[in-house]
A and B are shown apart, each in its own frame.
Chain A
Amino acid sequence: MSDPVSEKPERSRAAKWTRRGFIGAGAIAGGALVVGVAVRSGNPVGKLKGIVAQGEGEALVNAWVKIGSDNLVTAIVPHCEMGQGANSTIAQMLADEMDVNWENVRVMDAPADGNYVSQHAVRTFVGPGTLPDRPNQVSFMEPTYDGLFTQIGKLAGAYITGGSSSVRSTGQNGMRIAGAAAREMLVASAAKEWGVPAAEITTQNATVIHAASGRSEPYSAFAAAAAEQDLPRAPRIKTVDEYKLMGTPAPRKDIPSKVDGTAIFGVDAGPEGENLRYAAVKASPVVGGAIASMDASAAKEMRGVLQILNMGDFVAVVADSYWQAQRALNTIKITYTESENDSADTATMFAGFTKALDEAGDSGGNSKADYGDAVGALADAVTKVEAEYKVPFLAHATMEPMNCTAWVRDGKCDIWTGTQVPLMARDGAAEGAGVSADDVTMHSVLLGGGFGRRLTPEYTNQAARLAKATGYPIKMIWSREEDTAQDFYRPADISRFTGGLDENGKVICWNNVHCTEDEPPEAPLVEFYDIANVSVRNAEVEWPVRLGAWRSVAHSQHGFFVESFVDELAAAAGKDPVEFRRELLKNSPRHLAVLNGAAEMAGWGSPLPEGHGRGIALARSFNSIVAEVAEVDMTGETPKVTKVYCCVDAGFAMNPDGLKAQMESGIIYGLTAAMYDEITIKDGAVEQSNFHDYKMMRMDDAPDIAVQIINGAPDNLGGAGEPGLPPAAPAVTNAIFAATGQRIRELPISKHFA
């Protein structure tokens, strides 16, 4: 992009327009100028136009919408598709505001160019909203808003898919306004051309209509002229009763390509017409270790091998095929430098957690929430309840392991990869190739699973270094073993609770201390429960492994901790778990409606066969509220989850089918971890390696899932990708308690039934 500073007149004129929303030009996000408005000659969006509008007769109305001469409307979406379907849904939002029928809509991923940085993703992740007229601005991040966070957010390049933010943030604040603005600009063009007042013009099915004179034209007829129109200052957004596409299960645009096999994932992608060479890699299994030596004498003589490289921090074999590279790599004897983590193991780490929690006691550590007097109130309690819970490290285990194709030549670098953070992935490749970020062309393709794993750039960096060293295009693919050993793990944690009940069984105090940093910060909080005296704290501990964001982030631990302890309090009070929660939710009507919804779906209270049990759990995450009832069959050797009833209030389901699918997916991902999995460390290295010791939930173990949606706050959207997960584990452990009286306080559940 050209120097943004020299375009000042454009910027300042357009900047006024940001008052109403997202397409504001001139906003700085991720360290780049976000333009995203009208294309006209001399406008800095020229480069974008070159990238995304290459067809004859195409014009960019603004950076998020493209209208072709065939009257097809392409939504250019700044998020990555990793199975969640959000790109289709936010295109649906744009199309509705624009009055385009769904058949005429196409979806295109935004190129990894700073101009497409989602400034609303920045706001969601990095700081408080600056649009007071938009109540769905996410405020939960505000406590974390500090200089460091902002700075890193800028460095990272905030074109990001995570935080369940696509629909509620980019869709709600970006796509809808873009669609409405585009429509108004098309109407204005038609009014001018026809010499009629804009107010007399209506739109439907991508057509502008002037009923009085009987004239109508497809949008494409005015696409070029619309690009010359002034930007509407405040495009009118539809009210809920005007929605046509929003709230409907419009078929996802990405389904056909996934059914017919034409969908291109990272592992499929690469330069056309080039014979790729393949790289297999292995890094030190211990954090902080590097390569001390390698003995490649056997690998040198193996078929297909082209090069063997000691890259300092990892070893690579380049060969004609992936399998040749991997087999040769497996024969290389590698020694590693010493690391301060060489003796790390999970048991020692947990002992450190226990010590830190002991030291924090009932009032030490970092305060996360503190109201009333949790310590003082305990003295008045008739019943005191204490419990300690423990969860392990977890790997992401994406179906498609980490991979990246890179080609470095003539001072330029091309990469093909699936990533949740294209700009950061691009920068990782630039560093590896020794070129500037501007000289990297990022070909962003579908992700075979993300879940937070693809938020890091180390694999694009590796691939670019290999491509630079060899001089030809390299497809680097991690083995499943490498993927399992080199993950950024969901943090393990121990969480301690002390609670007090009065003579009526009402909770009067809640005191919690745990070890992980809380991301997002509200994860351990229980302000929606009516408890007068609350203290929530964390104790700082040290970690011998890389930590990462794992689907629902800290909610994945705290959902289990909090809802297990609420269940224990209910049992101590001698009350039914649903009735007990109803009393706690008396000031939280949306939470209560969701709880009641799930209980009703499950027929809570109705008889179950001998050895079966029901458990309920409720969690609020990413601005959505989800309650789940699990049914378990405990008559076999191991617990079997037979049913999960899920009730969700995500504000408004823009695509109910997509929301249901995300709930189902979150439940399965959550149950997989809860039932089977843990990552353990011994001698500094991860002990698990593949699906035999890090199991996935299969069809025969998967429960029947029913999902019910409540549209409880149409102007206050919540996320979908993550919120289905947090209640899954505690719903099951609470059901096991109901069936057998056995309280599971440590995950995975399989540990207790070996």
Chain B
Amino acid sequence: MNAIKLTLFAMTATVSLSACGSESPEPTEQIVIREPGEAATPVEGAAADADGADAADLVAAGKSAFAACVACHSVTPDGASSIGPNLYGVVGRAAGSLAGFDYSDAMAGSGLTWNSGELDEFLTNPSAKVPGTRMVAGAVNDADDRAAIIAYLATLSE
């Protein structure tokens, strides 16, 4: 058995030695699945699933992830805007164009049209994409979640 003497400093010294039990602090095995920000590649074998089933799953996942957004955004046709604009039909719409919503100057003048790519960048870091936007909360860190939310938003149109 290890005889570990109890002394405040002796104890901590023991730690600093044992913290790197291996010869080198480098990993002995490192499995890299993807880099941060990269969308997840479809899992091998899953491709056999029907595309339609995958898409439906993605939309369902997006609807679920969108729960974090509903405090500010309504998504029903003709739903009232609240803190943020109504997002029904947002995909394909020009940024800052919903009538009656008080956009920041930055958003109104952004010149963006919301497609999947622009939405993905905006949701990654709203203030970086549109500096001056009033959407100060709501960044979605998870790339999969962003993809799902965008897929869900794309279904919300006539």
Residues of chain A whose beta carbon lies under 8 Å from any beta carbon of chain B: 125, 144, 148-149, 152-153, 155-156, 162-163, 273, 275-277, 287-288, 290-291, 294, 296, 300-301, 303-313, 320-321, 324, 340-341, 344, 421, 424, 427-428, 431-432, 434, 455-458, 461-462, 465, 468-469, 472, 488, 491, 516-517, 519, 542-549, 553
Contact = CB atoms under 8 A, between A and B. Distances in A.
Given A296-B31, A307-B30, A432-B25, A156 B36 contact: no
B11 A549 contact: yes
Given A155-B13, A313-B20, A542-B2, A162 B27 contact: no
A702 B69 CA distance: 40
B143 interface: yes
A310 B28 CA distance: 6
Contacts of A458: 15-16, 18-19
Given A156-B9, A517-B7, A546-B4, A301 B22 contact: no
A320 B142 CA distance: 6
Contacts of B136: none
Contact of B6 (A273, A461, A517): A517
Contact of B7 (A149, A340, A432, A456): A149
B32 interface: yes
Contacts of A288: 2
Nearest to A420: B12
Contacts of A341: 1-2
Interface residues of B, number: 45
Given A304-B142, A312-B21, A428-B16, A340 B5 contact: no
26 contacts: A153-B9, A275-B124, A275-B125, A300-B31, A304-B142, A306-B32, A306-B35, A308-B33, A309-B27, A309-B29, A310-B29, A311-B27, A320-B143, A341-B2, A431-B25, A432-B20, A458-B18, A458-B19, A465-B27, A468-B25, A469-B30, A544-B1, A546-B14, A546-B15, A547-B11, A548-B11
Given A465-B25, A543-B1, A162 B8 contact: yes
Contacts of B35: 306
A542 B3 contact: yes
Contacts of B1: 340-341, 344, 542-544
A156 B9 CA distance: 7
B36 A472 contact: yes
A290 B141 contact: no
Give the residue among B1, B2, B20, B40 with the most A Cβ atoms within 10 A.
B1
Interface in B22-51: 22-37, 40, 43
List 6 A-B pairs, minimum CB-CB distance, nearest first: A312-B22, A310-B29, A313-B21, A152-B9, A458-B19, A308-B31
Contact of A455 (B12, B21, B43): B12
Nearest to A341: B1
B2 A516 contact: no
Contacts of A542: 1-3
A161 to B, nearest CB: 12
A488 B36 contact: no
Contacts of B16: 424, 427-428, 431, 456-458, 461
A367 to B, nearest CB: 17
A518 B43 CA distance: 57
Contacts of A312: 21-24, 27-28
Given A434-B25, A462-B19, 8 more contacts: A311-B22, A321-B141, A432-B19, A432-B25, A456-B12, A517-B7, A543-B1, A553-B8
Nearest to A462: B19
B10 interface: yes
Contacts of B121: none
A405 B142 CA distance: 18
Interface in B97-142: 124-125, 128, 141-142
Nearest to A283: B21
Nearest to A320: B142
Nearest to B15: A456
Nearest to A456: B15
B143 to A, nearest CB: 7
Give the residue among B12, B15, B24, B29 with the most A Cβ atoms within 10 A.
B12
Contacts of A308: 30-31, 33
B36 to A, nearest CB: 6
A204 to B, nearest CB: 42
B19 A428 contact: yes
Nearest to A314: B21
Contacts of B12: 152, 156, 421, 424, 455-457
Contacts of B23: 312
A1 to B, nearest CB: 23
A303 to B, nearest CB: 6
Contacts of B36: 275, 277, 306, 320, 472
B33 A340 contact: no
A461 B20 contact: yes
Contacts of A148: 10
Nearest to B35: A306
B133 to A, nearest CB: 15
A491 B6 contact: yes
A519 B7 contact: yes
A290 B33 contact: no
A304 B145 CA distance: 9
A287 B3 CA distance: 11
A687 B43 CA distance: 37
A307 B4 contact: no
A537 B14 CA distance: 25
A268 to B, nearest CB: 15
A739 to B, nearest CB: 35
Nearest to A154: B9
B43 A290 contact: no
Contacts of B24: 312
Contacts of B22: 290, 311-313
A549 B8 contact: yes
B43 to A, nearest CB: 5
A149 B13 CA distance: 11
A141 to B, nearest CB: 10
Contacts of B18: 458
B21 A469 contact: no
Contacts of B9: 125, 149, 152-153, 156
A287 B111 CA distance: 60
B60 to A, nearest CB: 14
Give the residue among B3, B9, B25 with the most A Cβ atoms within 10 A.
B9
B8 A300 contact: no
A599 B23 CA distance: 59
